[in-house]
Structure 1
Amino acid sequence: MERKKLAKDRAGPLQTHSMKDWSKDVSTQSLDSDDYGSDDDLYYSKRLDPAEDELNEDDSDTVDKMSSAEYSGEDELRSPPSSKRRRCSSARAAKPTPPWNTGKDVDTDPPEQRFYPLRTPGVQMSFTDTHTPLDLFKLFFSERAVKTVCDNTNKQAASNVAKGSTYKWVDVGVHEFFNYIGLIFYMATIKLDEIKDFWLQDDIFSIPFPATVMTWDRYSSITWNVKMSDPHKDQENNKRKGTPGYDSLFQAKPLLDTIRNACKAFYHPHRNLVMHDGVTTTKSFKFFILADASNGYAVDFAVYTRKSDFLTGEGLSYDSVMSLMNRSYLGSGYHLYTDSFYTSPKLFRDLLGQNFGACGLYREHRKNCPRSTSNALDKSSSKAAIRWIRDGPLVFVKWMDRKEVSICSTIHPAYSGEKVQGWVKPKTGGSMPKLYPCPSSVVDYNRYSSGVEVPYQLIQYYSTQHNEMRWYTKLFLYFLDIAAMNAYTLHKEMMAQRQKTTLTHKAFMEELTAQLCGVSSKVSLKREGCEHVPVPVAAPRPDASKRAASAHMACLMCKIDNRKQSTPWKCKVCDVALCLKMDRNCFEKWHK
């Protein structure tokens, strides 16, 4: 629960950027209405799958009490209103299930799977080459891809100007667009309430750097017009709306495909994979990410809209996994760990048919999951009590921790003697460690799922997401997050291989931001139009013969240094007298 609270606390205050100063016409343009009008939409908003989750009227508390919320970091799930709840048939209660076995009963070991990756797992580049943060970022956001975005952005701007937009537009090029991306990362690192606040001047809270890269008008005009697809082809796609030929993700496809291909090209995952949801700020689309459990690298991802390309008819949780577990790219023998949204007996059996093992938390109201109450765990069960049922290659295990944990696996036996450390409070006071029996499936699930949590909590510190933007602009920003996170993962892997010091995530993002903006991260900024200049302490006398005797004042820096020295110069802004001589520059010393 602490991990869940930490994730919420970290994610909560980050979505603070607002575009309301200049995007009133933008916020209304979304992929679809954010109101969930269909039964499927209502289910997904609660992380339920209508093709798999079977809820009756008496199941209203089932989802609330699922132990998966504690172990996978999921938000607590609320079952939909009864009027929208998908009801199962009466055959559910009539389906016979065997009684639960205990931890003392012997289970058969599952067949061992041979691991055959198509490439050697790890970074698919030479470790001898030196790669800067910008070099690694450009593996995913290449100059060619950015050139395509620039061309489409320029077309969009020309179209808007032709329609009567009054702002001035100069075509954006690749170099300037990388500067623009650098500013996005800069604003993701330094949080202000409004984006326009980064361009405030003449204020003690002013931040001078963004204005040295580009003006506010230029930044906002690029943001108005940023476009991943050709706007003329968008119109052709829109004409097909309502037909099978319509592509709801057409406006994101050019860059989406480029990023996905790059994710798979430059890294091959190790054996253990994790399936999880990406963090988004809109209901218009959802991300499904397949990540390497050892470091969080996004191996592949898919975008789900309400008109998804997942067409197997087996449900969203099934389709999202099967679309990413690609044997022709991965190889075979991989182990996939999933949370309770994805886990289902059909999915795990079909993955096993492709020589992929799987382990994940499951929900009792999922189709074909055991619901036997004979010898089941209850509130009186002791801590670390174990119950299990084997159904062919699947083993369903329940383990009592603070709450009941339900897990399904095709790669673990029910219990093979593992123990985990807990704490007990003796009557004498204090606390002392104690070993408890724990199923290996629970041990491995916690190990590999937590390996992905840390990188994606870190990315929330520097999330580029803004509020009130077009849906495809949100996708564009999410692609930036994925590219930056994967670039940092490559950096860590390559530095570890070369036995060199790895940058922290913060240092990496700062260096990447500086390189995108074309400056050094250690640059000394000087504001243009600075008024700190030397001026006479008094107006010079009109008589040229008496100008040498013009008014003098005691130099403040000399006074501080216990010297008595007068000077005819003072700072225009500070209004203090300061020496300005060949052998003593008190003016410079004061302003340092």
Structure 2
Amino acid sequence: MYWKRLFTDQMIEHITEHTNQYSVQQTGRSINTTVAEMEDFLSILLYMGVFEFPSLEDYWACESRFPPVADTMSVKRFKVLRRNFHFNDNFQMEGYTDRFHKIRPLFDMLREQCLLIPPTYKQSVDEVMVAYKGTRAGKLRQYIKNKPDNRGFKIFCCASSIGIIHDFILYQGATTFFNIQKEEHAHLGLEDLSLGAKVVSILCNTITHKEATVVFYDNFFNSFDWVKTLHTNLGLRSVGTVRANRSGGATLMSDKEMVKRGRGVVDFCSEGVVAVKWFDNKCVTLLSSACGVGPLSSVKRYKKEAQQKVDIPCPSIVLAYNQAMAGIDLSDMLVHLYKTPMKARCWYLPLFGYIIDVSIVNAWLIYKRDCNLLKEKPMPLKKFRLSVAATLKGANKVPARVGRPPSAKHKPQVRRPNPRVLHPSLEVRYDGTGHWPTCGTQRGRCNLCKGGVSPRRDLHLVGYAWEFCGLATATALDDATINSLFWHRANYHR
């Protein structure tokens, strides 16, 4: 229920329709997938995000078979669906300025659902990287030096302090804001703004209670003039770190003087916007229109001379910034805990994997928030994801009938295939330790016999049984043993 609030049935139907359409465009015939089969496919992806195997075929291999995946779908069918997985019509995308057109419909539908989540009064704006090291995406792939995934797609996100993603923008260079109308462009005053300021304006424009909300962001987005503009145009208060050349000429203590005085030194000034400078491991400057220095609190830091942690003064603006900015970092950490494996030549499949993961994380955080309100203990993220996968595999499926049918004598006999028996390895088959065929009352099927059915007396059977059992000589078989070998079963002759 929680996951379907974000990854809706409409999204699954959209994927099913365009997957069938793409298979017709590529091969001339449809793969005829259904919504139920697509749910099974998504269930397998959720399982693979928790139980990671070295290769895809290992989930179906005899030595490492994983029943929740292997019993749901065959490996051949899974590869067919994965190869034809699609989200938009390529033939109608010519001339579009959107460079993410292959995955855009799914992101738009997910964004609509994320905007419906009730937000908190502390929102943070930051970038998230979706890992991709291929070259088929062209200049859509970005590089950020200090990120764990430093190469991939950049997404600007707006999140609450508890980690729920509420809004996002896919960065694609000059055409990032292609869908912004001229009226909205003029209303937000985006003409003379930098990239960071434009991102904050568009993401914060969807906040419902602007007067009661405080926005937090880092020095990539912040400047002295922008803090004033945000409060004037949108009525939003903000807190953020700032670079030295964007502080608006605030008269603050120099770095050298702060280093001489030691850790915990605070300096501030106010010229319509509060500017605070604090020295910890190094100097950091913050601009705020929401809070100031006081009240001063303390934080634990290790002091080398005393060889122990000591208390140093810390302004309240720093504590508020660290607490609120942890939202996007928390969401990114939870996404990387159980990541959907979507490595492929198609550059947009890693973005689809991020959609699955962020919808799971958002759903779990909403579920956890509801459990806290009800004072109940929530299940961990791994168990929540496995629960979604197991429920999705059985959702909308016809349940098996329980009990005896009312008219069993008129029920047509349906021939069911025999359960598959795993083949023994060659080392076990030829070890000569007595893996004898069992004696049966019916004739079995044999791949070596003509017609596929073994007769009671066939000369090649004796030789095959001798070779199968790894005996040194055929004379070691007595008449009683040979008679028992004539009645053999299929799993010993495959």
* Same structural fold, with TM-score higher than 0.5 when normalized by the shorter chain: yes
Note the C-alpha offset of 1:416: 3.5
8 Å contact kept, 2:275–2:286: yes
Q: From the CA coordinates, give the structure whose radius of gyration is larger.
A: 2
Matched, 1:247 2:93: no
SS of the equivalent of 1:213 reads: coil
Deviations 1:425-454 (A, max 9, x none): 666xx53x5432211111111222235433
> Judging changes above 3 Å, is the alpha-carbon distance between structure 1 residues 276 and 196 closer, same or farther for their aligned structure 2 residues?
farther
Q: 1:220 aligns with which of 75, 79, 98?
A: 79
Instruction: For residue 367 of structure 2, give the secondary structure of its aligned residue in structure 1.
Output: helix
More relative contact order, 1 or 2 (CA 8 Å, 6+ apart): 1
Residue number among 276, 279, 288 corresponding to 2:156 in the alignment: 288
Partner of 1:189: 50
**Partners of 1:417 and 1:536 in 2: how far apart?**
82
More helix by share: 2
2:20 matched residue in structure 1: 154
Counterpart of 1:210 in structure 2 is 69
Preserved contact between residue 271 and residue 333 of structure 1 (Cα < 8 Å): yes
SS at match of 2:200: helix
Which ranges of structure 2 fall in alignment gaps of 5 or more residues? 133-140, 143-152, 179-184, 396-417, 425-434, 442-455, 457-483
Q: Does the alignment pair 1:136 with 2:12?
A: no
How many residue pairs align between the two structures? 388
What amino acid is aligned across from residue 529 of structure 1 in structure 2?
Answer: R
Distance apart, 1:529 and its partner CA: 1.2
Give distance in 1, aligned partners of 2:50 and 2:419.
24
Q: Does the 8 Å contact 2:88/2:103 carry over to 1?
A: yes
Aligned twin of 1:271 = 121
What does the per-residue CA deviation read over 1:240-280, in whole Å, with 9 as the maximum and x for residues that have no partner?
Answer: 25xxxx33233333222211111111x21111111122231
Instruction: State the shift of 1:329 in Å.
Output: 3.3
- Judged with a 3 Å threshold, the aligned counterparts in structure 2 of structure 1 residues 257 and 537 are, in CA distance, closer, same or farther, namely closer
Q: Percent identity?
A: 21
Gap change, CA 1:540 and 1:473, over 3 Å in 2: closer
| Match of residue 176, structure 1, among 21, 31, 37 | 37
Cα distance, 1:368 vs structure 2: 3.5
Amino acid at match of 1:391: E
Change (3 A) 1:411 1:437: same
Give 2:243's match in structure 1, choosing from 348, 363, 367: 363
Unmatched runs of 5 consecutive residues or more in structure 1: 1-134, 163-167, 520-526, 543-567, 576-592
Secondary structure of 2:126's counterpart equals strand
Deviation at 1:478, TM superposition (A): 1.6
Task: Report if aligned partners of 1:280, 1:286 keep a CA contact under 8 Å in 2.
Answer: yes
| CA–CA separation in structure 2 for the residues paired with 1:299 and 1:460 | 19
Distance 1:249 1:380, change over 3 A: same
CA, structure 1 residues 138+420, in 2 after alignment: closer, same or farther (shift >3 Å)? Answer: same
For residues 296 and 328 of structure 1, the distance between their equivalents in structure 2, rounded to whole angstroms, comes to: 16
Report the Cα distance in structure 1 between the residues aligned to 2:311 and 2:75, rounded to whole angstroms.
60
Q: 2:91 is matched with which residue: 228, 232, 236? A: 232
Aligned partner of 1:390 among 266, 270, 273: 270
TM-score by length of 1: 0.59
Residue of structure 1 equivalent to 2:110: 259
Q: Deviations over 1:53-110 (max 9, x none)?
A: xxxxxxxxxxxxxxxxxxxxxxxxxxxxxxxxxxxxxxxxxxxxxxxxxxxxxxxxxx
How has the CA–CA distance of structure 1 residues 151 and 408 changed in structure 2, closer, same or farther, with 3 Å as cutoff? same
Distance 2:422 2:172 in 1: 54
Tell me by how many angstroms 1:372 deviates.
6.5
Say whether the 8 Å CA contact 1:388–1:396 is kept in structure 2: yes
Equivalence for 2:421: 530
Contact 2:126/2:157, CA 8 A, preserved across alignment: yes
* TM-score when normalising by structure 2: 0.70
RMSD, aligned CA = 3.4
Letter in 2 for 1:416: P
1:437 aligns with 2:313: yes
Take 1:573 and 1:455, find their aligned partners in 2: how far apart are those partners? 53
Equivalent runs, 1:323-472 vs 2, <5 Å: 323-326=202-205, 329-353=208-232, 354-366=234-246, 368=248, 370=250, 377-392=257-272, 394-424=273-303, 431=308, 434-472=310-348
Which has the higher mean CA deviation after the structures are superposed, 176-185 or 188-197?
188-197
